[in-house]
Amino acid sequence: MNIELYCFAAMKDYFPARDSLSLEKVETVADLRNHLAVLKPDSSDLLRLCRFAINHTIVADEVKLFDGATVAVLPPSSGG
């Protein structure tokens, strides 16, 4: 399956702001979260706090990914 991955804020310290990924054995958002943590172990603490959106809709970890999906990784943020 191929997805477009967008990372924001502090997640850009670990991953490119935009990346095309070809994934095998990744079916759900939870699988993707784990896959990213394996790629960059230093990101795992922040990844646990992130929300994920598919095609501009925030989704739960059990939601299935699909080919061509646009996935955003949204870390908690604050500011003013």
The per-residue pLDDT for range 22-48, each reduced to its tens digit, is 999 999 999 999 999 999 999 999 999
The tokens describing 43, both together, are 């990101």
7: pLDDT strictly greater than 90: yes
Q: What mean pLDDT is predicted for residues 65-70? A: 98
Cβ distance 31 to 61 under 8 Å?
no
Cβ distance 24 to 5 under 8 Å?
no
pTM of the model: 0.93
What's residue 64's pLDDT?
Answer: 98
**The domain at 2-74 falls in which architecture?**
Roll (3.10)
79: pLDDT strictly greater than 90: no
Cβ distance 36 to 69 under 8 Å?
no
50 pLDDT band (50/70/90 cuts)? very high
